[in-house]
Structure 1
Amino acid sequence: MARQSNSTGAGGAENPGRLKQIALTYKMTRRVDSKVGLVVAGTGIVVFGVLLAIGFLIGHPVYAGILGFVLAFLAMAIIFGRRAERAAFGQMEGQPGAAAAVLENVGRGWTVTPAVAMNRNQDVVHRAVGKAGIVLVGEGNPNRLRGLLGAEKKRMARTVADAPVHDVIVGEGEGQIPLKKLRTHLLKLPRVLPGPQVTAVNDRLRALGDLMSNMPVPKGPIPGRGMRGRSPRA
Structure 2
Amino acid sequence: MANRTSAPEKRPGFFSQIRSLFKFTREIYPWLPWAQIAMLVLGVLVGLIVGYLIPPFQVWTLILWGISGLMLGILGAMFLMTRLSTSAMYQKIDGMPGATGHVLSTSLGRNWQGSETPVGINPKTQDAVYRAVGRGGVVVVGEGSRGRLSRLVNDERSKAARVAHGVPVTVIYIGHGDDDVAIADLAKTVKKLPKVIDKATMGAVIRRIESVSQSISSLPIPKGIDPTKVRAQRPR
TM-score by length of 1: 0.76
After the TM superposition, which residues 92-103 of structure 1 pair with which residues of structure 2 at under 5 Å, given as runs? Answer: 92-103=93-104
Given that 2:163 and 2:208 are in contact with CA atoms closer than 8 Å, whether structure 1 keeps it comes out as: yes
CA drift at 1:200? 0.2
RMSD in angstroms over aligned alpha carbons?
A: 2.5
Encode CA deviations 1:108-157: one digit per residue, 9 max, x unaligned: 34322321122343211101111121111111012333443223211222
Aligned partner of residue 111 in structure 1, secondary structure: strand
Inter-partner Cα distance in structure 2 for 1:23 and 1:93: 23
Gaps of 5+ in 2: 1-9, 56-60, 220-236
After the TM superposition, which residues 1-234 of structure 1 pair with which residues of structure 2 at under 5 Å, given as runs? Answer: 17-59=13-55, 61=62, 64-106=65-107, 107-113=109-115, 114-119=117-122, 120-212=124-216
CA drift at 1:100? 0.5
Inter-partner Cα distance in structure 1 for 2:154 and 2:209: 16
Inter-partner Cα distance in structure 1 for 2:33 and 2:127: 38
Identity %: 31
Given that 2:128 and 2:144 are in contact with CA atoms closer than 8 Å, whether structure 1 keeps it comes out as: yes
One-letter amino acid matched to 1:108: R
Inter-partner Cα distance in structure 1 for 2:64 and 2:179: 51
Aligned partner of residue 168 in structure 1, secondary structure: strand
Q: Bigger relative contact order, structure 1 or 2, given CA contacts below 8 A and separation 6+?
A: 2
Number of residue pairs matched? 202
CA drift at 1:202? 0.5
Given that 1:125 and 1:137 are in contact with CA atoms closer than 8 Å, whether structure 2 keeps it comes out as: yes
| Structure 1 consecutive aligned stretches of length 4 or more whose deviation exceeds 3 Å | 58-67
- Structure having the higher Rg: 1
One-letter amino acid matched to 1:18: F
Question: Quick check: which one's helix share is greater?
Answer: 1
CA drift at 1:211? 5.0
Gaps of 5+ in 1: 1-12, 216-234
Aligned partner of residue 163 in structure 2, secondary structure: coil
Residues 63/100 of structure 1: CA separation in 2 closer, same or farther (3 Å cut): same
Residues 210/81 of structure 1: CA separation in 2 closer, same or farther (3 Å cut): farther
CA drift at 1:48? 3.4
